[in-house]
Amino acid sequence: MPDPTEERAEQLLAMTQRLIGLLEEEIEALRTRRLDARSVSFEEKERLVHAWRLEVSRLKADPGLLSGLSQSHREQLQTAARALEDKLSAHEQALAAARTVTEGLVRSIAAEIADARSGPEGYSAKGLSGGGARREASGLAVNARV
């Protein structure tokens, strides 16, 4: 009969390694600007993250669940946990970079549209019109938080 402690460690290790793999795929998709619903396994990632979080919470609440764990499994779990932290940090950086690029594009497009559709120039201090051709005003609104 398999040892439940060793089996629990194996399952946690497998979940951690799969999460690392999914994060690597998503980071690569972000870097190559091809992140979409088809390029990564969002559902699998969500399911694994939820299961991993629950298991880690159980272990924190009851450290005895891993008492008697072999030293090699303990070291593997620690190494995998550090690798997951590193991958999550890299993922955060890749998301921030993608967000910065996207926000810059949105701002540039909004500025171009606003410039192309701006209203007429105002009057000068002498009461003269700016003399430029009247252009159609724009009703453009940009939500910078998106």
33 within a domain of the structure (yes/no): yes
When comparing pLDDT for 128 and 35, which is higher? 35
Summarize the confidence of residues 11-30 as an average pLDDT: 92
28 within a domain of the structure (yes/no): yes
> Helix, strand or coil for residue 13?
helix
User: Whole-angstrom Cα distance, residue 48 to residue 45?
Assistant: 5
40-68 tens-digit pLDDT: 678 888 999 999 999 999 989 998 888 88
6-16 tens-digit pLDDT: 898 999 999 99
User: Whole-angstrom Cα distance, residue 99 to residue 94?
Assistant: 9
Cα torsion 97, 103, 105, 111: sign = negative
User: Whole-angstrom Cα distance, residue 29 to residue 10?
Assistant: 29
26 within a domain of the structure (yes/no): yes
pTM assigned to the model = 0.69
31 within a domain of the structure (yes/no): yes
146 within a domain of the structure (yes/no): no
Summarize the confidence of residues 106-131 as an average pLDDT: 71
Helix (H) or strand (E) holding 139: none
Summarize the confidence of residues 109-113 as an average pLDDT: 82
Per the CB < 8 A criterion, the answer to whether 17 and 84 are in contact is no
User: Whole-angstrom Cα distance, residue 24 to residue 83?
Assistant: 11
> Which tokens go with 133?
């051709």
89-109 tens-digit pLDDT: 999 998 898 888 888 888 888
Domain limits for position 20: 4-116
Summarize the confidence of residues 109-117 as an average pLDDT: 78
134 within a domain of the structure (yes/no): no
85 within a domain of the structure (yes/no): yes
Total domain count for the chain?
1
Which of these, 26, 91, 19, lies nearest to 53 by C-alpha position? 19
34 within a domain of the structure (yes/no): yes
